[in-house]
Amino acid sequence: MDTKKVNEVQEEFRATAAEELPSFIARYETDGRLGVGRLVEQAKKNLRKLKEEKERIRQLSVYEREYAPFGAVCGVDEAGRGPLAGPVVAGAVILPEDCEILYINDSKKLSAKKREELYDVIFEQAAAVGIGMVSPQRIDEINILQATYEAMKKAIHNLGVTPDILLNDAVTIPGIAIRQVPIVKGDAKSISIGAASIVAKVTRDRLMAEYDAVLPGYGFAEHKGYGSAAHIAALRKLGATPIHRKSFIGKFV
């Protein structure tokens, strides 16, 4: 039996990295103390969750494995098609083969904290990341769909390398001489598209927080430009700002 006190074993458990859980379990599994037994059961539960997440990520990489023989696979997605204010932002991400960044998912299914954490991990581990942005004025000029395509083209260009396959979230981008695979709800089915959705979402959210600092009173940091009740009330009271999409707000001002 280990001579450590239960609270010391608890501290050890808290400091145990995921890959070290099996050795923690082996070390304390035969300890007869109730408190240690609970920690071992929690370690086993965490290990099961980790294995389940790794399997989910493996399944999320099915398109990447399918198209890997053709060359560099790039996921493409956007954030900000629906808001009343702010740009539309696109992300393009090429992940290394057999990438195992855990917890990647459709950015809308993740907490803001988890998105921020994954944003940094994606930039650290991706083979290439590109971001494209189109202004509210340009959205008003050419419409949101065309602006979304334009943002995606910019993101692909800003990768710095030319991918061989594009995995897109539901759309086919016109005027691109690269093979494209549109995937409906792709941000929840492809690890590359999921990564691109996180990059686009975090980039845009950070920008809207910056706008909030220079354009107070609208709550851009909270609603990110979407048509919340508070945003519409502020729009009616204060009027439009330079970052509002005029083609979106006609019935409010």
The Cα–Cα gap between 114 and 195 comes to 12
Task: Give just the sign of the alpha carbon dihedral 253, 78, 228, 208.
Answer: negative
List beta partners, residue 181.
Answer: 167
**Would you state the pLDDT for residue 92?**
98
Residue whose pair of structure tokens reads 């890997």 in the numeric block:
68
Q: Where are the domains of the chain?
A: 6-60, 63-204
**Full strand arrangement of the beta sheet holding 128-134:** 128-134, 88-94, 73-79, 165-169, 179-183
Residues in the chain: 253
H or E element at residue 157: helix 144-157
What is the DSSP track for 88-105?
Answer: EEEEEEEPPTT---TT--
Question: Residue 42: helix, strand or coil by DSSP?
Answer: helix
The residue type of 137 is: Q
CA 101 to chain centre: 12
pTM of the model: 0.90
**Would you state the pLDDT for residue 19?**
86
Domain 63-204 listed as CATH 3.30.70.990: no
The Cα–Cα gap between 157 and 168 comes to 15
Token code pair at residue 213: 């600092």
Longest dimension (CA), the chain: 73
Burial class (CB in 10 A: 0-12, 13-18, 19+), 220: buried
The 10 Å Cβ neighbour count of residue 148 is 23
pLDDT in tens, the chain (253 residues): 447 999 999 999 999 988 899 999 999 999 989 999 999 999 999 999 999 999 999 999 999 999 999 999 999 999 999 999 999 999 999 999 988 899 999 899 999 999 999 999 999 999 999 999 999 999 999 999 999 999 999 999 999 999 999 999 999 999 999 999 999 999 999 999 999 999 999 999 999 999 999 999 999 999 999 999 999 999 999 999 999 999 999 998 8
**Would you state the pLDDT for residue 1?**
46
Backbone angle region of 216, left / alpha / beta, with phi > 0 → left and psi within -120 to 50 → alpha: beta
**Would you state the pLDDT for residue 45?**
95
92 close to 196: Cβ distance less than 8 angstroms: yes
The 10 Å Cβ neighbour count of residue 197 is 31
The Cα–Cα gap between 197 and 91 comes to 6
